[in-house]
Amino acid sequence: MSDEKKTAQEPSAEKKPVPEEKTSITRHTLVLNGKELTYTVTAGTLLLKEEDEAEGEKPKAMIFYVAYELQGETPVAERPITFSFNGGPGSSSVWMHLGMLGPMRVLLDEEGMPLPPPYQLVPNDFSLLDKTDLVFIDPVSTGFSRPVPGQKAEEFHNVKRDIESVGDFIQRFTTRNKRWASPKFLIGESYGTTRAAGLSGYLQERHGMYLNGIMLISSIINFLTARFNPGNDLPYALFLPSYTATAWYHKRLSPDLQADLSATLRESEAFAGKDYILALMKGVRLVGEEREQVVRKLARLTGLSETYIEQTDLRIDIHRFCKQLRRDEDLAVGRLDSRYIGKDRDSAGEIYERDPSYSATLGPYTAMLNDYLRSELEFESDLTYEILTSLFKTWKYDDAQNQYVNTGETLREGFLLNPALKVFVANGYFDLATPYFATQYTFDHLGLPAEFMDKIRFAYYQAGHMMYLHLPSLRQLKSDLDAFIDEAVNKKAER
């Protein structure tokens, strides 16, 4: 049989070409605290491979990243390095990249409200680059990151594979760039904190990589605290202090509660953690004067009417709250940041049409990221840079069937394996996506020995989910993170 006939009768599967990695390296300067810093930026792609018994290393995905390396006298191996990612699931790394950590940031007004287009990037006086090198990672299907031809994107869209793919990227980047001796940190925001907690275990157990610290921005680690499902009364109590903070900001509370936010929040926390949660546990057995007292207290602490609270059966869903608080003014408040307000087609809906806090930030960050990558970092791609996809709607939680996702258990084990690990937790009072009281509950229930709780630092800001949009909060956040990194690096050998 001729080769031609054999080919025709027995077609062999053609291997799809694997895209090549590409990088763009540029040099820049930044004046920070009166000192000029010179740094190198590498914007590029890294091919993620998986070991396969039959095929050896099998290409799986091309991961896009932007890495910042400070130039100076300190040997690169001694410089701390921080791996950063946002959440979603389905978000690129743009938010902390151009809002908080990187040497350039999107210009907003002092309160974090957007300015009219065209938008601007300005030097970031609060960048962490003076403390640590930075690597911004876009998980698969976000940014420019894509599976290689022949691989399904859905394979990466679940809790376990997401943690593994980001962890494998960190290991490969660390190895290629000779950073194993560097102090290492993770910083994640929102679902990125879910990922970071999971990585604390995966990096240690799969790659033997121990971290100095993890920085959690607007945490959600235990999803039990944030799922308003029938039968789960916990979120109603844990969200209450954030409802109170929001009502305070919009001046919907009585004069005595408007006087001092800290005192008002302490009152709300005390009620939520005791009388309110006990009342919810009673269900239909909560009747008479006892029920009326709870209704009156909830009205006092939320700015909502007693009638409305009765209509909700004392259980105020987050999306309903955003629509109801200022319904009488035809306004809805934001979920990511309840300082923002917006209008819907009408005021009769149960929930808002769109989150006004997300709508306000999407345009400026999308425009500036696309311009920055091509104009300043000289990285070219015809792909759409996926800022925030709708993956959260189809994300798979396969390992949490009939239970809630909780990577807090992995974080607990991470502490025990690596007693030197330290954690920083940043919370926004006006964050209705990952409320601060729910985060406190999560850490209070990790089951850590008392001595480990001293390794966890909490900080609070009068801002929302992305507290760094608010300039006074960004200023304080920079100071808090500087101190945290210094402590984690200086005491890295502590046992």
Each residue of 19-33: pLDDT tens digit? 899 999 999 999 998
Query: Does residue 16 fall inside a structural domain?
Result: no
CB 84 within 8 A of CB 101: yes
pLDDT confidence bin for 55, thresholds 50/70/90: low
Distance CA 438, CA 316 (A): 15
DSSP 434-449: S-HHHHHHHHHTS---
Q: Which of 364, 376, 468, 483 is nearest to 426 (CA)?
A: 468
What is the pLDDT at residue 400? 66
- Picking from 307, 330, 354, the residue at the C-terminal end of a domain is 354
| Amino acid, single-letter form, for residue 490 | N
Report phi then psi at 68, rounded to 5.
-115, 130
| Residue 52 neighbours by CB distance under 10 Å | 11
Instruction: Kindly state whether residues 232 and 348 are assigned to the same domain.
Output: yes
What percentage of the chain exceeds 90 in pLDDT? 86
Residue position matching structure tokens 């207290």: 297
State the burial class of residue 252 (Cβ atoms within 10 Å of its Cβ: 0-12, 13-18, 19+). Answer: middle
What is the pLDDT at residue 392? 80
Helices assigned H by DSSP within 239-331:
240-249, 255-258, 261-271, 277-282, 288-302, 306-311, 318-324
What is the pLDDT at residue 495? 38
What is the pLDDT at residue 469? 97
Query: Does residue 7 fall inside a structural domain?
Result: no
Is pLDDT at 13 greater than 90 in this prediction?
no
Instruction: Kindly state whether residues 341 and 380 are assigned to the same domain.
Output: no
What is the pLDDT at residue 17? 78
The tokens describing 403, both together, are 């239970």
Is pLDDT at 73 greater than 90 in this prediction?
no
Is pLDDT at 494 greater than 60 in this prediction?
no
Instruction: Kindly state whether residues 166 and 309 are assigned to the same domain.
Output: no
Q: Which of 242 and 396 is assigned the larger pLDDT?
A: 242
CB 183 within 8 A of CB 83: no
Distance CA 121, CA 134 (A): 18
Is pLDDT at 332 greater than 90 in this prediction?
yes
| Residue 322 neighbours by CB distance under 10 Å | 25
What is the pLDDT at residue 492? 41
Instruction: Kindly state whether residues 182 and 249 are assigned to the same domain.
Output: no
Is pLDDT at 274 greater than 60 in this prediction?
yes
What is the pLDDT at residue 408? 94
- Picking from 304, 333, 354, the residue at the C-terminal end of a domain is 354
Instruction: Kindly state whether residues 233 and 346 are assigned to the same domain.
Output: yes
Is pLDDT at 379 greater than 60 in this prediction?
yes
pLDDT confidence bin for 51, thresholds 50/70/90: confident
pLDDT confidence bin for 54, thresholds 50/70/90: low
Query: Does residue 8 fall inside a structural domain?
Result: no
Query: Does residue 341 fall inside a structural domain?
Result: yes
Alpha-carbon Rg for the chain, nearest whole angstrom, is: 24
Number of domains composing the chain: 2
pLDDT confidence bin for 361, thresholds 50/70/90: very high
Distance CA 422, CA 223 (A): 22
CB 443 within 8 A of CB 410: no
Question: 163-172, 254-263, 448-457: which has the minimum mean pLDDT?
Answer: 448-457
User: ∠180-455-460 over CA atoms, to 5°?
Assistant: 110
The tokens describing 192, both together, are 């990125």
The tokens describing 36, both together, are 């000029």
CATH of the domain at 474: 3.40.50.1820
pLDDT confidence bin for 181, thresholds 50/70/90: very high
Residue position matching structure tokens 């390396």: 69
**Across residues 145-169, what is the average pLDDT?**
95
Q: Which of 218, 252, 258 is nearest to 428 (CA)?
A: 218
Is pLDDT at 6 greater than 80 in this prediction?
no
What is the pLDDT at residue 57? 79
Instruction: Kindly state whether residues 71 and 201 are assigned to the same domain.
Output: yes
- Picking from 354, 375, 400, the residue at the C-terminal end of a domain is 354
The tokens describing 190, both together, are 């929102």
Query: Does residue 17 fall inside a structural domain?
Result: no
pLDDT confidence bin for 317, thresholds 50/70/90: very high
Q: Distance of CA 81 to CAs 77, 153, 164, Å?
A: 9, 29, 20
Instruction: Kindly state whether residues 341 and 407 are assigned to the same domain.
Output: no
What is the pLDDT at residue 321? 97
| Residue 366 neighbours by CB distance under 10 Å | 17
Q: Is the peptide bond before 118 cis (omega within 30 degrees of 0)?
A: yes
| Beta-strand relationship, 56-71 and 146-147 | antiparallel
Instruction: Kindly state whether residues 405 and 480 are assigned to the same domain.
Output: yes
Query: Does residue 2 fall inside a structural domain?
Result: no
Query: Does residue 6 fall inside a structural domain?
Result: no
Q: How distant is the alpha carbon of residue 156 from its chain centre?
A: 18
CB 188 within 8 A of CB 135: no
Q: Is the peptide bond before 89 cis (omega within 30 degrees of 0)?
A: yes
Please state, rounded to an integer, the average pLDDT across all residues of the chain.
Answer: 93
Residue position matching structure tokens 């099998």: 58
**Across residues 382-403, what is the average pLDDT?**
86
Instruction: Kindly state whether residues 320 and 338 are assigned to the same domain.
Output: yes
What is the pLDDT at residue 50? 84
What is the pLDDT at residue 289? 97
SS3 427: strand
Instruction: Kindly state whether residues 146 and 248 are assigned to the same domain.
Output: no
| Beta-strand relationship, 332-333 and 341-342 | antiparallel
What is the pLDDT at residue 201? 95
pLDDT confidence bin for 397, thresholds 50/70/90: confident
What is the pLDDT at residue 10? 45
| Residue 240 neighbours by CB distance under 10 Å | 25
Instruction: Kindly state whether residues 339 and 366 are assigned to the same domain.
Output: no
CB 123 within 8 A of CB 33: no
Query: Does residue 9 fall inside a structural domain?
Result: no
What is the number of H-type helices and E-type strands within the chain? 17, 14
Instruction: Kindly state whether residues 218 and 235 are assigned to the same domain.
Output: no
Domain boundaries, position 88? 22-224+362-490
